[in-house]
């Protein structure tokens, strides 16, 4: 529910505004002076302000000016006394959303408040959309494998709930995309997703990075600065590489995550925030707990809704789709000449284990677009690592080819039969799975098996 700050030095006005706004379901805070309003605004940003123009001390126009200097200022509705229309107009020029005159018509207040909130949410949505359009990242999961379908379903279910999510998966599997998809389709989607890479921040800076600091808190702190928690208020905090955080930082984080309250480094004021946390790691946190490197209580706090992004080698059917997607995307973005991959090349790419997962695949496609002049990539055009896995298989199996086999064709048949027997066994006798895992078409594979009399 929207949060409204009412600034007026007349107690009666504050109370009557609080009454009608709370009846409408809004949360209301009050400030009785310009100074109190400015102090409040240092800690948090309301969704809307009702601001009296005439205040003793720091007056309404000055407060308005300061509010408008903020990074994402809330809409401000000025409250003007009799005969203050000129001042009210100058407030509009300074960026106030609208003004209402005393004596207050309650009906007018509600209409004006709703209009301002609606305007603000459209504006925020616009900004978020623009950010999404201009960012080079496309937050969408390409793939038709069961693993990706399952993941999409889970994302859809968890996104609107506000539950905390822990995403686990190997390097480059798409954890960050998943986090951004959850944020984008959540009710916080028009707010910011603030990402923190826990592995990249030196231990001594992490507190200031997360909680911010006051001016002079440490050498070099020339001005006060908001931390990631504050920046993520009402939005999502993405704690990436959470498994790489020191135990000391984990202890601090745990307290803040539980209370959603903290102090800036060198500050005494306690700040409250409302953040949804999505954490990600490529480590097995259960192992880390056993080794004493990760706090069990933090693990359970974060793991309200666990999601696992499967490695690419467990969803080989996505490889060709991903290649198409990246060729298309990079061609559009950088004007590369389109590139096709011959079936033999695709088969080899499907057999490769992709230890760097989708990121490795994306980089590979980019490399091929840059390096490859022609319009079709054949198997012999692929870098060594993609064909080595096949050659490796051959050489192990070659040891099992009887010494008497000297003819090339016979050797190949011996190898193929041994290879297919072993792989079929690995796939539990399931021909469809075998076809997928070795990158052969099912009917072709079926004929092969028959010709070698393998059942």
Ligand X SMILES: Nc1ncnc2c1ncn2[C@@H]1O[C@H](COP(=O)(O)OP(=O)(O)OP(=O)(O)O)[C@@H](O)[C@H]1O
Q: Cβ closer to ligand X: 33 or 282?
A: 282
Is residue 169 near ligand X by the rule CB under 6 A? yes
Between 176 and 214, name the residue whose CB sits nearer to Mg ion: 176
Asked if 448 and 440 count as a contact pair (C-beta separation under 8 A), the reply is yes
Whether the CB-CB separation of 215 and 267 falls below 8 Å is answered with: no
171 lines the binding site for ligand X (CB under 6 A): yes
Among 34, 46, 147, 174, binds ligand X (CB under 6 A): 174
Q: Specify the residue for token string 């259960």.
A: 286
Which of 75, 172, 227, 311 touches ligand X (CB under 6 A)? 172
Closest CA to 43 of 208, 261, 265, 292: 261
DSSP notation for 256-320? HHHH-EEE-BT---EEE---EEEEEESS-HHHHHHTTSS-HHHHHHHTTEEEEEPPGGG-GGGHH
Query: Residue 183 interacts with ligand X (CB under 6 A)?
Result: no
Nearer to Mg ion, 201 or 339 (CB): 201
Binding mask 349-378 for ligand X (x = CB under 6 A): ---------xx--x----------------
Residue nearest to ligand X (CB): 174
- Burial (CB < 10 A; 0-12, 13-18, 19+), residue 250, is middle
Query: Which residues in the 88-147 window bind ligand X by CB under 6 A?
Result: 137, 141-143
Q: Select from 6, 9, 95 the least CA-distant residue to 54.
A: 9
The residue with tokens 């209009």 is 115
Residue 174 vs 235, nearer CB to ligand X: 174
User: At its nearest, how many Å lie between Mg ion and the CB of residue 117?
Assistant: 35
Residues 6+ apart with CB under 8 A from 301: 164, 254, 257, 258
**Segment 163-202, which members bind Mg ion (CB under 5 A)?**
176
The answer to whether residue 422 forms part of the interface with ligand X (CB under 6 A) is no
Name residues contacting ligand X, limited to 307-326 (CB under 6 A).
325
**Residue 223 contact among ligand X, Mg ion, none, beta carbon within 5 to 8 Å by kind:** none
Phi, psi dihedrals of residue 439, rounded to the nearest 5°: 75, 35
Angle at 64 (CA atoms; ends 63, 69), nearest 5 degrees = 100
- Report what 177 binds from Mg ion, ligand X, none; CB cut-off 5-8 Å by kind: ligand X
**173 contacts which partner out of Mg ion, ligand X, none, CB within 5 to 8 A by kind?**
ligand X
Residues in touch with ligand X (CB under 6 A): 137, 141-143, 169, 171-177, 282, 325, 358-359, 362
Residues in touch with Mg ion (CB under 5 A): 176
């Amino acid at each position: 529910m929207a949060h409204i700050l009412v600034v007026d030095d007349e107690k009666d006005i504050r109370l009557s505004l609080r009454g009608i706004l709370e009846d409408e379901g809004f949360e209301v805070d009050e400030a009785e002076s310009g100074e109190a309003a400015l102090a409040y605004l240092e800690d948090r940003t309301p969704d809307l302000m009702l601001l009296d123009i005439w205040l003793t001390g720091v007056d309404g126009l000055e407060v308005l000016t300061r509010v408008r200097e903020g990074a994402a200022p809330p809409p401000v509705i000025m409250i003007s006394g009799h005969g203050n229309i000129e001042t009210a107009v100058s407030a509009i020029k300074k960026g106030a959303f609208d003004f209402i005159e005393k004596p207050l018509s309650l009906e007018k207040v509600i209409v004006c408040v709703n209009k301002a909130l609606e305007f603000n949410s459209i504006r925020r949505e616009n900004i978020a959309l623009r950010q999404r359009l201009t960012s080079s990242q496309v937050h969408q999961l390409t793939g038709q494998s069961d693993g990706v379908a399952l993941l999409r379903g889970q994302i859809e279910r968890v996104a609107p709930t506000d539950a905390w999510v822990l995403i686990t998966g190997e390097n480059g599997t798409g954890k960050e995309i998943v986090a951004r998809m959850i944020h984008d389709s959540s009710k916080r989607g028009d707010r910011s997703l603030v990402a923190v890479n826990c592995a990249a921040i030196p231990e001594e800076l992490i507190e200031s990075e997360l909680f911010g600091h006051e001016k002079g808190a440490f050498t070099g702190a020339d001005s006060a600065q908001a931390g990631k928690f504050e920046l993520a208020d009402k939005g999502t905090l993405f704690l990436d590489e959470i498994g790489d955080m020191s135990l000391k930082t984990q202890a601090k984080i745990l307290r803040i995550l539980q209370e959603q309250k903290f102090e800036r480094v060198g500050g005494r004021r306690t700040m409250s925030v409302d953040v949804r946390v999505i954490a990600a790691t490529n480590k097995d946190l259960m192992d880390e707990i056993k080794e004493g490197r990760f706090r069990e209580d933090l693990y359970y706090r974060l793991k309200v809704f666990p999601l696992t992004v499967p490695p690419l080698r467990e969803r080989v059917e996505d490889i060709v789709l991903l290649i198409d997607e990246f060729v298309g995307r990079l061609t559009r973005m950088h004007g590369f000449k389109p590139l096709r991959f011959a079936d033999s090349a695709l088969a080899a790419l499907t057999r490769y284990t992709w230890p760097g997962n989708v990121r490795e695949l994306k980089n590979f496609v980019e490399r091929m677009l840059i390096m490859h002049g022609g319009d079709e990539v054949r198997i012999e055009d692929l870098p060594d690592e993609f064909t080595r896995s096949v050659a490796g298989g051959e050489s192990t199996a070659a040891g099992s080819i009887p010494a008497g086999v000297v003819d090339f064709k016979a050797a190949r048949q011996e190898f193929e039969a041994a290879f297919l027997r072993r792989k079929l066994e690995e796939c539990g006798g399931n021909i469809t799975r075998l076809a997928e895992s070795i990158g052969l078409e099912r009917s072709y594979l079926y004929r092969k098996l028959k010709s070698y009399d393998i059942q």
